[in-house]
Structure 1
Amino acid sequence: MHRSRSGRIRVAAAQYFVRPVRTFEQFAEQVEAVVEVVAGYRCRLLVLPEYFTMQLLTLHDIRLPIAELVRQVAGHRDRFVELMRDLARQYGLYIVAGTIPAMDDGDDRVFNDAYFFSPSGDFDVQGKLHMTRFEREEWHVSPRNRLKVFETDFGRLAIAICYDVEFPELVRAAAHEGAHLLAVPSNTDDRKGFLRVRYCAHARTIENQLYVIHSPTVGTLPRVADMTLNYGQAAILTPSDYPFARDGILAEGVLNQEDIVIGELDMHAIEESRTFGTVLPLNDSHHTRELIRDLDVVPL
């Protein structure tokens, strides 16, 4: 079994306020301000939200159809990657850099990709695996098809982008591969959507005995289709057992306000809970697989 190499780490979830920008440099200044604060609190890991890069829509003609605007934001990908790589290096952080629309060379499809940067500037990508209806039907965004678990110097981490956290099989698979942390970048426009993500994120902590760092967008992009409203509350969530936070919430932000949520995680507590916890849902899930294979439908 993989063992984390560091005991306690400090992590941050950005409750990121999207606002119109006039230049890419203005966007970069806002992002760096968040990174600088997090580094000042000696955090090792920062998680930014899904589609926080949609601020860059406001550099274009917002009267265009949203599917076209999404593809124009994808045109900023290389510049965005360079920005985040430089910030990770400069501030010595691991950064789950939210998501940005992305297009591969020779492929006219657009994807929703989360770039994960190490303090050295190295990075890899976790694409979103399940599209919401608005992404599929209105934005014409396509799903990726590969789940990854990332090795860091404090343990293994997986990324479930917003809607993906509503599919427990994904996170269970990552936990069986030794993931002790789950980053959940999200973008939701109302309370119902936010709570779907939040409740499922909390369930994943209990089912898999891991930490969840949930980072949503807040704020508004006036007159921009599908981005006018953002509803969110960042949180750092824990399993529900004696070594962890009383309500399974280590820290959370003030609803719908610009904020950064910071907490300290005991990585060894995850390992111990998976062996000595009050209940052992991750370990006991091996029996669940057997039960599912032998599922019966019984007429009455």
Structure 2
Amino acid sequence: MRRYTVAAAQMDSGPEKEINLIHMETMIEEAGKRGASLVVFPETSTLLPSSGIEKEAGAEPVPGPSTDRLSKAAREAGIWVHSGSLLERIEGNEKCYNTSVLISPEGEVTAKYRKIHLFDVNVHDGPSVRESASYASGNEIVIAETPLGNIGMSICYDLRFPELYRILALRGAQVLVVPACFTSDTGKEHWDPLLRARAIENLCYVVAPGQVGSKPRYRAHGKSMVVDPWGTVTACRASGEGLVLAEVDLDRLESLRHSVPCLQNRRPDTYDWR
């Protein structure tokens, strides 16, 4: 499919997994009715715990109960579903993975990505967060080959590491998904330019759904958006929960890559990373 509609789902997820999942099932149904071929949810979509106890109790295998429900909703709506991210249990380990899955319209889990870059920061005039205390980092770069194009997977803080997205683009990614729970402290200055930069420098579509609302230690930025390969924000939801829809046109993407062949004009023979 060379041209289709994508939906980015903005959520205010909390510690009640059942409430979050019911909301996601409703949004999947709505996205299908509005003509979307793919709906992408934000980071920690199924569960945003307020304590370590809630995190440990809410982590589950992937695939598991939550992905089973999302698979059923995908089948009923007849669309692709990107889970955002879930807490994936690691047997024998108190830590868990922050994990995304991509589900086909037939309800099959076709790709799984574990967040590579963990958010260990002290934000100026903002929160102090150390994800590595609770999460294990993934180590695999993932591209899902689908009828909707090649989808490069990432999660939130990954956005600050352009190396990941350049590798995704060089391996054939056409659509980059960035489910996030950006803090308002960093998001108000960095969210827009980072997303547009990843789209422009890699000539890819970027689909970036975010969490919104007050969380246990910070306020989430929201501003879910879709950015085209020229860096134009084609759809955006500034606040509140809901879907934002935009068109993905892979023929236009290929035309822009032909006009501005920066991926072909690279000089890896001159790059020295040492």
**What secondary structure is seen at the aligned counterpart in 2 of 1:88?**
helix
- For residues 228-260 of structure 1, the C-alpha deviation after alignment (integer angstroms, 9 at most, x for no partner) is 5222101110122xxxxxx6111111x221221
Pick closer, same or farther for the CA change 1:111–1:19 going to 2, 3 Å: closer
Candidates 230, 245, 253, aligned match of 1:262:
245
CA distance in 2, matches of 1:294, 1:14: 38
Aligned to 2:142: 148
Candidates 272, 283, 294, aligned match of 2:264:
283
Could you tell me how far 1:15 is from its partner in structure 2?
1.3
**What secondary structure is seen at the aligned counterpart in 1 of 2:178?**
strand
CA distance in 1, matches of 2:173, 2:199: 11
Counterpart residue type for residue 265 of structure 1: V
**What secondary structure is seen at the aligned counterpart in 2 of 1:185?**
coil
Pick closer, same or farther for the CA change 1:79–1:158 going to 2, 3 Å: same
Could you tell me how far 1:128 is from its partner in structure 2?
0.3
Contact 2:13 2:44 in 1 (8 A): no
Counterpart residue type for residue 22 of structure 2: E
Candidates 159, 172, 175, aligned match of 2:153:
159
**What secondary structure is seen at the aligned counterpart in 1 of 2:70?**
helix
CA distance in 2, matches of 1:79, 1:116: 15
Counting only pairs closer than 5 Å after superposition, residues 117-136 of structure 1 correspond to structure 2 as 117-123=103-109, 124-133=111-120, 134-136=129-131
Counterpart residue type for residue 69 of structure 2: L
User: Deviating runs (4+, > 6 A) in structure 1?
Assistant: none
**What secondary structure is seen at the aligned counterpart in 2 of 1:260?**
strand
Q: Which consecutive unaligned segments of at least 5 residues does structure 1 have?
A: 1-5, 241-246, 296-300
TM-score normalised by structure 2 residue count:
0.88
CA distance in 2, matches of 1:294, 1:70: 38
- Number of aligned residue pairs: give it: 264
Pick closer, same or farther for the CA change 1:264–1:252 going to 2, 3 Å: same
CA distance in 1, matches of 2:113, 2:184: 25
2:33 corresponds to 1:49: no
2:28 corresponds to 1:8: no
Percent identity over the alignment?
Answer: 25
2:97 corresponds to 1:116: no
Pick closer, same or farther for the CA change 1:219–1:18 going to 2, 3 Å: farther
CA distance in 2, matches of 1:194, 1:104: 34
Contact 1:131 1:143 in 2 (8 A): yes
Pick closer, same or farther for the CA change 1:292–1:121 going to 2, 3 Å: same
Counting only pairs closer than 5 Å after superposition, residues 91-240 of structure 1 correspond to structure 2 as 91-123=77-109, 124-133=111-120, 134-136=129-131, 139-193=133-187, 195-221=189-215, 225-226=216-217, 229-240=219-230
Counterpart residue type for residue 49 of structure 1: P
Aligned to 1:3: none
- For residues 159-200 of structure 1, the C-alpha deviation after alignment (integer angstroms, 9 at most, x for no partner) is 110111211111111111111100110002314245434322
Contact 2:118 2:131 in 1 (8 A): yes
**What secondary structure is seen at the aligned counterpart in 2 of 1:120?**
coil
CA distance in 1, matches of 2:152, 2:10: 20
Task: Look at both structures and tell me which one has the larger radius of gyration over its CA atoms.
Answer: 1
